[in-house]
Amino acid sequence: SRRTGRPSLPPLDLTGGTKFRLRVWDALQRIPRGETRSYGEIAEDLGKRRAARAVGGGCGANPIPVLIPCHRVLAANGRLGGFSGGQEWKRRLLAVEGVLLT
């Protein structure tokens, strides 16, 4: 759009998601570029502090992994965790955003 300098995208078709997964995907879209969150932090933000594994399931079921940025979600210990495109691809996406992991 003109205001953000970013191209406008058509609405995402997320009709296959459960209510919880839709909430997870919404939370993922609110993680700013260049920042990360843990699965547990997202679960807590959703009011389900014991649902870190369910958040991981929502990330794994993400139908559009780059537009809904599940690559910004890390394990509690700061490690990469899973990603549908593999850990190396996740590391590269994060590096492009300025996130360098040791």
70 labelled catalytic: yes
Integer Cα distance of 54 and 12 in angstroms: 22
Exactly one of 31, 52, 68, 70 is catalytic; name it. 70
- Give the count of beta carbons closer than 10 Å to the beta carbon of residue 48: 15
**Residue whose tokens read 């559009």:** 64
Both structure tokens of 18: 């459960």
| Cβ contacts of 90 within 8 Å, gap of 6 or more | 71, 80, 83
Three-state DSSP class for 92?
Answer: helix
Catalytic residues: 70
